[in-house]
Amino acid sequence: MPLPLGHIAIGLATHEVGTTRSAFSRWKLFAAIVVLSNLPDIDVIFGLLFHWNGSAFHRGPTHSLLFALAFGFLASRAATIWDRLPRLGFWTCFSLILSHVAADALLSTSAVSFFWPLETNWSAGHSGWGDVIGMVLKGDAQDAWISIGAAAVIIIQRAARALKTGRLIPSGGKSARGLEQSSK
């Protein structure tokens, strides 16, 4: 199962593919991507606070299409209330939240409640504060591979965008268009 670092990497790649703005251009934008790509795991915090078990509510309603739609809408409207937040469109917010749900569904063996309230799946077992903090701090090899894959997606997307706009700069310092013109 992807941990926070893996969800951040997937969120960054999702943002890079879905918009023309770099996720690394402003720290507030980067922070918003971090929060939205990990938002469905708020259920772990609620489980720890109310039942001392991070798995108590995990993979329930917060891991659903309805949650992604509702909180994608709320997050996209938040910047109109608080002008210090980065302005993100609905589809960007929705896709960042949904990227978490999709990653959990595809990269782990536990089911998610994608069509909640029509179906509900809960995580089994018990995860206390120490277990959750240990998982977040230690991570695992899967998150490393996810991060490498997300970095490759970002690099390929930026290269494709640069080639399309003619902004790829070779080692000589001239743009590709400048080289074409000087060779004629």
Is the pLDDT at 119 greater than 50? The verdict is: yes
Buried b (16+ CB within 10 A) or exposed e, 54-65: bbbbbbbebbbb
Is the pLDDT at 179 greater than 60? The verdict is: no
Q: Which amino acid appears at position 166 of this protein?
A: G
How do residues 75-118 score in pLDDT, each as one tens digit? 999 988 888 899 999 999 999 999 999 999 999 888 899 999 88
Average confidence (pLDDT) over 132-152: 81
- Banded pLDDT at 168 (limits 50, 70, 90): low
What residues have CB less than 8 Å from 179, skipping those under 6 apart?
A: 170, 172
How do residues 8-41 score in pLDDT, each as one tens digit? 999 999 999 998 888 888 999 999 999 999 999 9
Is the pLDDT at 138 greater than 60? The verdict is: yes
**Cα separations in angstroms, 38 against 4, 33, 86:** 6, 8, 17
Is the pLDDT at 6 greater than 70? The verdict is: yes
State how far the Cα of 133 lies from the Cα of 119, in Å rounded to an integer: 29
For residue 132, what pLDDT is reported?
Answer: 76
Q: Which amino acid appears at position 141 of this protein?
A: A
127 against 151, higher pLDDT: 151
What crossing angle do the helices spanning 90-107 and 141-165 adopt, rounded to 10°?
Answer: 140
